[in-house]
Amino acid sequence: MSGREPLLQRSGVKKVEENRLPPNQVLTPKWPVLTHGEIPEVNLDTWRLHGWGRVRNDRAWTWEEFRSLPQVEVVSDIHCVTRWSRYDNRWRGVASREILERVQPLPEVRFVMVHAHGGYCANLPLEQFVAEDILFAHEHDGKPLAREHGGPCRMVVPQLYFWKSVKWVVGLEFLSVERAGFWEQYGYHMRGNPWAEERFQGR
């Protein structure tokens, strides 16, 4: 274990060291960039984080409003389905729970579709979306999140393969019936748990 004092919230996922690296993953100190298509240039003046669908309060936050929500720091690990993992990423941003409390999903909501600027999206169950280490991050290791890594704002979902961590996040659609996201439509797994190696559908 590192000698760092636990000032920050540690992701609750897999604290046990011997089980920390999911099966068939390789640890890298680098941080590869994986993007389908162009890296967008997001304008902060027109940026919105919009929550809609089966909710009591359909609402959108401007960048200023988003930045004035309570902020958290979480240290968590990245596991990409292409088999690289990167430990101890320090994220700063807004916890998913802050958004949920304000949007108030209706009782029938069971899934969330997370939407990016440009059309990319990924689906996950609501029960996973509420985990306390999930956040809308705008800083990584003390610096503003780089554009190629999803800046100004991306989701971080440590307990799932990293394709579920949508870069350039702009929307949350609350659903009672699940739909497949971008990679899920091409055969990636609907769940994506790295410890169960849920990489592709049908295995």
Ligand X SMILES: Nc1nc2c(c(=O)[nH]1)N[C@H]1C(S)=C(S)[C@@H](COP(=O)(O)O)O[C@H]1N2
Given the rule CB under 5 A, which residues bind Mo ion? 34, 80, 163
**Least distance CB 92 / ligand X (angstroms):** 15
The count of residues interacting with ligand X (CB under 6 A) is: 17
Sign of CA pseudo-dihedral 129, 154, 163, 133: negative
**Residue 123 binds which entry of Mo ion, ligand X, none, with Cβ cut-offs from 5 to 8 Å by kind?**
none
Decide: 194 and 125 in contact? Cβ < 8 Å.
no
Question: One symbol per residue from 49 to 78: x for binding ligand X (CB under 6 A), - otherwise; what is it?
Answer: ------------------------------
- Look at residues 143, 59, 67, 140 and name the one whose alpha carbon lies nearest to residue 101: 59
Which contiguous run of DSSP H or E holds residue 86?
strand 84-95
Options 15, 26, 32, 196; binder of ligand X; rule CB under 6 A:
32
Phi-psi sector, 88: left (phi>0), alpha (psi -120 to 50), beta:
left
- For CA atoms 47, 119, 182, 85, the dihedral sign is negative
Whichever of 152 and 192 has its CB closer to Mo ion, that residue is: 192
Q: Scanning residues 163 to 192, which ones bind ligand X (CB under 6 A)?
A: 163, 165-168
Out of 8, 9, 13, 35, the only residue in the binding site for ligand X (CB under 6 A) is 35
User: Tokens 């609350």 — which residue?
Assistant: 174
Nearer to ligand X, 14 or 140 (CB): 140
Report residue 62 as tokens.
């401007």
| Cis before 70 (ω within 30) | no
Q: Give, as ranges, the residues between 86 and 145 that touch ligand X (CB under 6 A).
A: 116, 120
Binding of ligand X at residue 34 (CB under 6 A)? Answer: yes
Q: What is the dihedral of CA 138, 6, 80, 182, to 10 degrees?
A: -40
**Using CB under 6 A as the criterion, what x/- string covers residues 139-158 for binding ligand X?**
----------xx--------
Identify which of residues 54 and 147 has a Cβ nearer to ligand X in the complex.
Answer: 147
Closer to ligand X by CB, 52 or 84: give it. Answer: 84
